[in-house]
Chain A
Amino acid sequence: EPEVTQTPSHQVTQMGQEVILRCVPISNHLYFYWYRQILGQKVEFLVSFYNNEISEKSEIFDDQFSVERPDGSNFTLKIRSTKLEDSAMYFCASRSGTARNQPQHFGDGTRLSIL
């Protein structure tokens, strides 16, 4: 079964540094998402992306965050200047475009630790 792939599985970064989290969505999917889960809390929506632009974003997704689909396969989340509170598990998800209520398929996550 096709999978969403995320790299790296664990990223440790100094506060203030830029970090890029990478995702390879399922190949024929058209909608892409990032979610965040702070340790011990629930999963929170960050941003959705379709047709090379952001279609929706949450209050968490401020100017420090950006997303990009640099080529036909990768989908990235960049945090410009990391803060301690950015430490979390980041999940990428994708879904097909055949119908609006199709399920989202999640990757295994990247655990981001800010020191």
Chain B
Amino acid sequence: GIQVEQSPPDLILQEGANSTLRCNFSDSVNNLQWFHQNPWGQLINLFYIPSGTKQNGRLSATTVATERYSLLYISSSQTTDSGVYFCAVLISFNAGNMLTFGGGTRLMVKP
């Protein structure tokens, strides 16, 4: 099956710093989603981004499908950005699709 690799696995930032999280995938995908898992375990959908660049406040994401990677940028990080960031790629089959998740990047933002 498809492999989804995220880097770095762990990241510690000082509040206000910027960061880039990477997601590599081993095969063509129909789409890609980025999630933030907060300390309560909730999966918050950040971006749905098959290709190109999207921005939402301090966050932006870029997917280059032809080169099989996606990047998540966090600018001016805040302590509330702490948590685990997952990318998930969408694989289609006959009757629908499924998401395959990467291993996540665990982010800690220190005040």
Contacts and interface: CB of A to CB of B under 8 A. Distances in A.
Contact of B88 (A43, A95, A101, A105): A43
Contact of B41 (A31, A35, A42, A111): A111
Interface in B74-90: 86, 88, 90
**Interface bin, chain B:** 20 to 34
Nearest to B92: A100
Interface in A85-115: 89, 91, 93, 95, 100-101, 103-106, 108-109, 111
Contacts of A65: none
Nearest to B50: A101
Interface in A11-46: 31, 33, 35, 37, 42-45
Contacts of A111: 41
Nearest to B33: A103
Contacts of B98: 33, 45, 48, 56
Contacts of B104: 42
Contacts of B94: 55
A35 B30 CA distance: 19
A106 B92 contact: no
Given A50-B95, A50-B96, A101-B92, A106 B45 contact: yes
5 contacts: A31-B96, A42-B101, A55-B96, A56-B93, A103-B33
Interface of A: 31, 33, 35, 37, 42-45, 48, 50-51, 55-56, 89, 91, 93, 95, 100-101, 103-106, 108-109, 111
Given A42-B102, A109-B41, 12 more contacts: A31-B96, A42-B86, A42-B101, A42-B103, A50-B96, A101-B30, A101-B31, A101-B50, A101-B97, A103-B48, A106-B45, A108-B41
